[in-house]
Amino acid sequence: MKKTILLAMALATVSSASAQGSVTGAGASFPFPLYSKMFAEYKGDTGVTVNYQSVGSGAGQKQITERTVDFAGSDNPMSDEAMKAAPGKLLHVPTAIGAVVPSYNLPGVTTPLKFTGKVLADIYLGKIKTWNDKAITALNPGVSIPPLPITVARRSDGSGTTFVFSDYLSKVSTEWKSKVGTGNSLNWPVGTGARGNDGVAGVVKSTPGAIGYVELVYAKQNKLPFG
């Protein structure tokens, strides 16, 4: 699952703030590792400080609409209606492309597991409850998968990563589309909620049997296997 990261910018505000030596932003946790590096390099080159708070795409969209930040990071674009309702003109600027992966914690399993979209949808619907379910073992012949219960980790905040993941599940599972659908915030059938990609990765890392959807860098930084 790939997605383009966007900045929603209030252009006049950004010009004024940068002239004063600082710019303030908030939003998606998905690109935060990249933004941290970019903004540090930018300060070294220009002396301008960019303060970015990783609070989720939904919160970022809210803050840019309320004009409490100069720019917002979001994994999904704001709707035309939301753009029109904003007190000033907003502009979407693509900044990066990243991947959403299903990351998991299965002690003793060293072979990367394979999933299908339907299997992922059924896990997040609560229909597949254990790791040795035949739907998973059939996709991974020769892999010894323990009979651990599956702990589903998902976002508790308004999240563009959730939007992308749920949009994918809606495309591969008619049941998911009809029962849950696509959005930044969802009425989840099952799962343990956590804030941000880092929060979901933390739940997976600390919980044997857990699975969660995260941006690829978070899986790698936490040394978590991913499907």
CA distance 145 to 143: 6
pTM: 0.80
> pLDDT tens-digit profile of 151-186?
999 999 989 899 999 999 999 999 999 999 999 999
Order across the sheet with 49-54: list the strands: 49-54, 22-27, 71-74, 2-10, 90-104, 210-215, 151-155, 192-194
CA 168 to chain centre: 13
* Domains of the chain as residue ranges with CATH: 23-85 (3.40.190.10), 100-222 (3.40.190.10)
Residues counted in the chain: 227
- Residue 12: the pLDDT is 42
**Model pLDDT for residues 177-219, shown as the tens digit of each residue:** 999 999 999 999 999 999 999 999 999 999 999 999 999 999 9
Query: Residue 30's pLDDT band (boundaries 50, 70, 90)?
Result: confident
How far apart (Å, rounded) are the C-alpha atoms in residues 7 and 28? 9
Q: Does residue 6 register a pLDDT over 70?
A: no
* % of the chain surpassing 90 pLDDT: 75
